[in-house]
Amino acid sequence: MKIDSSYYETIDQLEKMGVERDYIVGWIGGYMENPEVEEQRRNDAYSAGYEDGKGRQTTNAERWKAN
């Protein structure tokens, strides 16, 4: 899989937005087409990030900003 600059730019954007770590980890996993983490480690933020990463988007990122 070839990773272009949008991958790095998106992670940087998510970090600057203050998005929860689990969302970012999920996004990376989905983008890289990795298998999801085991069920006991999965949460809503991770799952939302994973789905967004698979779609190469950040649709749910705003919802997962850390307080």
pLDDT number for residue 11: 96
pLDDT attached to residue 34: 96
Yes or no: say if 24 and 15 are a contact pair by the CB < 8 Å rule.
yes
> pLDDT per position in the chain (67 positions), as tens?
667 889 999 999 999 999 999 999 999 999 999 999 999 999 999 999 999 999 999 999 999 998 7
Please give the pLDDT value at position 23.
97
What per-residue confidence (pLDDT) applies to 1?
65
The number of distinct structural domains making up the chain is 1
Three-state SS string over the chain comes to: CCCCHHHHHHHHHHHHHCECHHHHHHHHHHHCCCCCCCHHHCCHHHHHHHHHHHCCCCCCHHHHECC
Show the domain range for 57.
5-64
For tokens 């705003």, the residue is: 62
